[in-house]
């Protein structure tokens, strides 16, 4: 049995970015949605060459950086296809002109997109459409190996689209695995969903709302005998919970957020609802976003408030206040409709060049609002009604970072001392010397794990193990958090937004023959 006293070294304050005169915390989400489905935003058309695509993307990022944008929500999977190298789904036709055709000359676009964003201190969030399988069936030229051809029983047709059936457990697992693959292989800053879960209601030729054709899965996969609406919401709950678990198991620091349509429920439907008369996300897309917030399944919500101030059905200010009262301690970003602002808009409110600025002021006057996400990228590039000029000259004059999330990255300054554990029950071992003097240092928003460097020349690598609480006896490869040839590991805003609850870290050394040492005395970290 071994005993060790774990101490905290001197604290050093590190801050990335600049303090904003407009934001109390010096942090604010200033993001843009980049839609790729049907080439809405990028690339401008699906037949651009690789070099033309790269040039177009770089010009977009340069402009965003110039006006103060600090994050992009990039649609990497618009319709069961990929803007990245995927073993699950074919290359997107909106990238290469033909579904399943790889870029030529070959490169992995997502690696390029992320790298260029990070060069400009812009976060890159991978925007996923989980259940859209085919965007428009009458114009679709689907690749032979597309999932709708391999698993037609997973899909239903609704209106002019094909959707995965979320009621089938294998479907939810399939989509979750795709997200896990992206999280594991790419240096993204977050996973993002928009408002599409079950399909928006569509009407048939007689003006009646079409029924979602999921009766067979409802009858087969409903062990709790729920009503169909509750069953659909349960499917979404299971999916969101599972996605969050997968993301955090791979990279616990990654943010996971959802941008629902702007009305959860109306007050006429639910006393807890907003004083509005809009289509309710809860009732028509079968998604209980408040439940996801309450249960810590998502880290932020970004409702799409695409109405002007004073709208009689869904007033912008009313909805900002309502969502501000229903964050449950998570972040609230407001989705703003830059695309609506234009000189010939039907609504006089959207012809007003101050409409978006007034909305921005409402956001900033609400202490629960942590920033905005603007739709869409092309409208931002067009500087609709001079909105981006106002951002650059008046509202985003200083560069700031996207908001930090304490539940993902803040640790206590006090660490557990006098840990008593038998390290032979912790890590497999051999006879050579384990790393010594393993300590943890808090560096502002960074965390540094460090240990004495090997002086023998025998060590080629260190394994950093991470365990949940003290719930461990033996270790295996699944417990390895990271491998490094250095004698330290820094976890920061870019590569490690950190973990929830309590974790224990142990370090081992590996020699050139692959033999692994005893583990260090465990270091236990309590998170706020």
Per-residue pLDDT of the chain (528 residues), as tens digits, is 222 222 222 222 222 222 222 344 589 999 999 999 999 999 999 999 999 999 999 999 999 999 999 999 999 999 999 999 999 999 999 999 999 999 999 999 999 999 999 999 999 999 999 999 999 887 668 999 999 999 999 999 999 999 999 999 999 999 999 999 999 999 999 999 999 999 999 998 888 999 999 999 999 999 999 999 999 999 999 999 999 999 998 888 899 999 999 999 999 999 999 999 999 999 999 999 999 999 999 999 999 999 999 999 999 999 999 999 999 999 999 999 999 999 999 999 999 999 999 999 999 999 999 999 999 999 999 999 999 999 999 999 999 999 989 888 433 333 333 333 333 333 333 445 678 777 776 655 556 788 887 777 788 899 988 876 555 556 778 888 889 888 888 765 343 344 445 667 888 888 888 888 877 877 766 544
pTM of the prediction?
0.76
pLDDT the model gives residue 524: 66
pLDDT tens digits for range 79-104:
999 999 999 999 999 999 999 999 99
The closest of 365, 340, 509 to 433, measured between CA atoms, is 509
Domains of the chain: 2-10+408-526 (2.60.40.10), 29-400 (3.20.20.80)
DSSP of 32-57, one letter per residue? Answer: EEE--GGGSSSSSSTT--HHHHHHHH
State the Cα–Cα distance between residues 503 and 493, nearest whole angstrom. Answer: 18
Kindly state the greatest CA–CA separation across the chain: 81
Q: Is 94:36 a contact under the CB 8 Å cutoff?
A: yes
Q: How many residues does the chain have?
A: 528
State the Cα–Cα distance between residues 475 and 467, nearest whole angstrom. Answer: 9
Place of tokens 């583990």: 519
DSSP of 465-515, one letter per residue? Answer: EEEETT--SS--GGGEEEEESSSEEEE-TTT----SSEEEEEEEEEETT--
Strand 132-134 and strand 161-164: pairing? Answer: antiparallel
SS3 278: coil
Q: Is 28:400 a contact under the CB 8 Å cutoff?
A: yes
Alpha-carbon dihedral sign for residues 73, 78, 82, 88? positive
Does 105 sit behind a cis peptide bond, omega within 30 degrees of 0 on the bond before it?
yes
């Amino acid at each position: 049995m071994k005993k060790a006293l774990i101490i905290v070294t001197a604290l050093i304050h590190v801050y990335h970015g600049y303090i904003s005169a407009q934001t109390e915390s010096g942090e604010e989400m200033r993001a843009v949605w980049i839609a790729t489905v049907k080439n809405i935003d990028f690339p401008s058309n699906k037949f651009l060459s690789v070099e033309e695509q790269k040039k177009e993307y770089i010009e977009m990022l340069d402009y965003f950086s110039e006006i103060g944008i600090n994050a992009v929500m990039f649609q990497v999977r618009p319709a069961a296809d990929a803007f990245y190298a995927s073993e699950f789904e074919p290359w997107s036709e909106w990238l290469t002109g033909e579904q399943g055709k790889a870029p030529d000359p070959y490169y992995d676009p997502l690696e390029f997109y992320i790298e260029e964003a990070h060069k400009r201190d812009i976060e890159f969030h991978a925007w996923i459409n989980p259940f859209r399988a085919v965007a428009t069936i009458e114009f679709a030229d689907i690749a032979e190996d597309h999932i709708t051809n391999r698993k037609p029983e997973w899909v239903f047709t609704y209106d002019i689209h094909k959707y995965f059936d979320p009621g089938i457990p294998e479907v939810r697992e399939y989509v979750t695995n795709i997200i896990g693959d992206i999280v594991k292989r790419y240096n993204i800053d977050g996973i993002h969903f928009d408002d599409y879960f079950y399909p928006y209601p569509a009407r048939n030729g007689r003006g009646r709302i079409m029924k979602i054709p999921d009766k067979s899965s409802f009858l087969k996969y409903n062990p709790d005998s729920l009503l169909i609406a509750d069953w659909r919401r349960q499917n979404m709950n299971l999916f969101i919970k599972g996605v969050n678990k997968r993301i955090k198991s791979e990279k616990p620091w990654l943010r996971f957020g959802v941008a629902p349509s702007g009305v959860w429920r109306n007050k006429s439907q639910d006393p807890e609802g907003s004083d509005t008369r809009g289509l309710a996300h809860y009732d028509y897309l079968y998604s209980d976003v408040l439940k996801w917030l309450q249960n810590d399944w998502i880290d932020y919500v970004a409702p799409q408030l695409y109405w002007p101030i004073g709208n009689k059905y869904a007033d912008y200010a009313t909805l900002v206040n309502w969502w501000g009262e229903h964050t449950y301690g998570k972040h609230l970003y407001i989705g703003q409709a830059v695309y609506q602002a234009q000189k010939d808009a039907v609504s006089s409110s959207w012809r007003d060049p101050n409409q978006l600025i007034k909305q921005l002021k409402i956001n900033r006057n609400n202490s629960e609002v942590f920033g905005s996400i603007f739709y869409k990228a092309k409208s931002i590039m067009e500087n609709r009604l001079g909105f981006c000029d106002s951002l650059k000259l008046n509202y985003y004059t200083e560069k700031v970072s996207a908001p930090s999330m304490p539940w993902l990255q803040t640790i206590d300054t006090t660490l557990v001392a006098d840990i008593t554990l038998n390290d032979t029950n912790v890590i497999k071992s051999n006879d050579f010397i384990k790393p010594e003097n393993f300590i943890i240092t808090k560096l502002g928003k960074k965390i540094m794990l460090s240990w004495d460097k090997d002086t023998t020349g025998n060590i080629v690598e260190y394994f950093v193990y991470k365990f949940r609480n003290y719930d461990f006896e033996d270790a295996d490869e699944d417990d390895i958090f990271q491998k490094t040839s250095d004698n330290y590991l820094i976890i920061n805003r870019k590569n490690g937004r950190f973990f929830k609850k309590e974790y224990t870290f142990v370090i081992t050394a590996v020699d050139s023959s692959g033999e692994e040492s005893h583990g260090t005395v465990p270091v236990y970290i309590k998170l706020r």
